[in-house]
Chains A and B, each alone.
Chain A
């Protein structure tokens, strides 16, 4: 592909910027056997997403109590058993969505026996 191959100008009279770099092809670093380490990293990232979501929920909980979600207020917040269970349910639902590619085989197997 050359500059001339880029899509034409739109109503602004500007061509969209090119998003790929000319020159050497992108190096290939990873090997097929690296996929297991990638999975460990992927699960750790899920933990970070979940922790962020819990922190957002604490913002909401502090606000519901009439407070301001400062760092200190977030650290001082005492999680209630009700909210703890609600968060667990939210996490379980997230896991079901994220792990669907794994669990769909099981659902298909169950379907087969019906």
Chain B
């Protein structure tokens, strides 16, 4: 339904809100109606025709894709989905740009804050971040439009709520809540002193960790300065003490063994494989003995070439070029290379949150520091 109006959430005029609501409805139509419809067109018409002609089903996802592309349903579905993807950021971005000076001013750190924020203008932005606007979100997560800028943080906080048609919750908290539940259930005796959320974005993945572990000191880092500025102001306005800093998750400035939980959510599938391995190595360094790390953990390829194709929609259509490497990564090997004993690696699944029912549960992979 409505997004919680914390003090830093962009305000929309009547017509801005109406256009955002259209984007949400369009995304919902695409996700819950057009997307599953591709399965009906494939299984009821295209696959039987193909099998009659060739005496076998498509051998791989390339053949499945060629078959699907013979269908106007599929071509139209793709065009609408891509247009929706672009329209969300443009619609939300126009509203935020209008009020950006005010948002930037309101986001400035104040004395007596519950948490803290650090930015690092000297930090180099890696090429994999600067070269591709993930999700076709212009400017990606890190671009700054001026001093004290929060644009990219506001864009992602508000944009994700529109994009997921509210399906992550009134505070976009669904991912963090799901991940914290996994850790709590699997490690009931864990009493973390400090928790780190890598790639925290506007902070909606970070706050649920403070709710799950009220006694822990919770930190969030992101490569984008506008993300951590916004995340700080957002957490303060919601009354939650979090320590945010602009850092690269593969090389942070925290001391060895500083954390008992190190997590990332919706981050690994946007990273090249060497960066994923770097995150795991840094997680190992940052964890105290008995500490736990957990990340989204890929997906084994489907036997069905059509399902392989359709579940790669974002990789193929929404600027997620690294998703393919992530999907195929040997996570067990990546964790042992990072220093975790093979026996300490665990797997779990969480629902695909707002895509529940449309996509299979998301794999979570983690390890315990020996």
Chain A residues within 8 Å of B, Cβ to Cβ:
36, 39-40, 42-44, 46-48, 50-51, 54-55, 58, 74-75, 77, 79, 81, 84, 87-88, 91-92, 95-96, 99, 101-103, 105-106, 108-110, 112-113
CB-contact partner of B37 in A84, A106, A113, under 8 A: A106
CB-contact partner of A47 in B14, B23, B79, under 8 A: B23
A-B interface, 8 closest residue pairs, ranked by CB to CB distance from nearest: A102-B76, A43-B83, A54-B18, A109-B45, A51-B18, A91-B25, A50-B22, A109-B44
Q: List 30 A-B contacts (CB under 8 A).
A: A39-B79, A40-B82, A40-B83, A43-B87, A44-B90, A47-B19, A48-B19, A50-B25, A54-B15, A54-B21, A55-B18, A81-B2, A84-B1, A87-B21, A88-B25, A88-B28, A91-B21, A92-B29, A95-B25, A95-B29, A96-B29, A99-B29, A102-B34, A102-B76, A102-B80, A103-B73, A109-B41, A109-B44, A110-B40, A112-B44
| Contact of B14 with A40 in the complex, beta carbons under 8 Å | no
Q: What distance in Å separates the Cβ of A60 from its nearest Cβ neighbour in chain B?
A: 14
Is B322 interfacial (CB-CB < 8 Å)?
Answer: no
Q: What distance in Å separates the Cβ of B99 from its nearest Cβ neighbour in chain A?
A: 14
Q: A47 and B44 in contact (CB under 8 A), knowing A39-B83, A75-B13?
A: no
**Which of B23, B37, B72, B90 has the most CB atoms of chain A within a 10 A radius of its CB?**
B37
B27-45 interface with A by 8 A CB criterion: 28-29, 33-34, 37, 40-41, 44-45
Cα distance, A77 to B12, chains bound together (Å)? 12
Interface Cβ pair total, 8 Å cutoff: 105
| Contact of B84 with A110 in the complex, beta carbons under 8 Å | no
Which B residues are in CB contact (< 8 Å) with A112?
44-45
Chain B interface size, under 10 / 10 to 19 / 20 to 34 / 35 or more: 35 or more
| Contact of B22 with A91 in the complex, beta carbons under 8 Å | yes
Chain B residues within 8 Å of A, Cβ to Cβ:
1-2, 13-15, 17-19, 21-26, 28-29, 33-34, 37, 40-41, 44-45, 71-73, 76-77, 79-80, 82-84, 86-87, 90-91
Which A residues are in CB contact (< 8 Å) with B72?
101-102, 105
Q: A101 and B76 in contact (CB under 8 A), knowing A47-B19, A113-B44?
A: yes
| Contact of B76 with A58 in the complex, beta carbons under 8 Å | no
**Which of A43, A44, A50, A108 has the most CB atoms of chain B within a 10 A radius of its CB?**
A43
| Contact of A95 with B26 in the complex, beta carbons under 8 Å | yes
Which A residues are in CB contact (< 8 Å) with B23?
47
Q: What distance in Å separates the Cβ of A98 from its nearest Cβ neighbour in chain B?
A: 10
| Contact of A58 with B71 in the complex, beta carbons under 8 Å | no
Cα distance, A39 to B81, chains bound together (Å)? 11
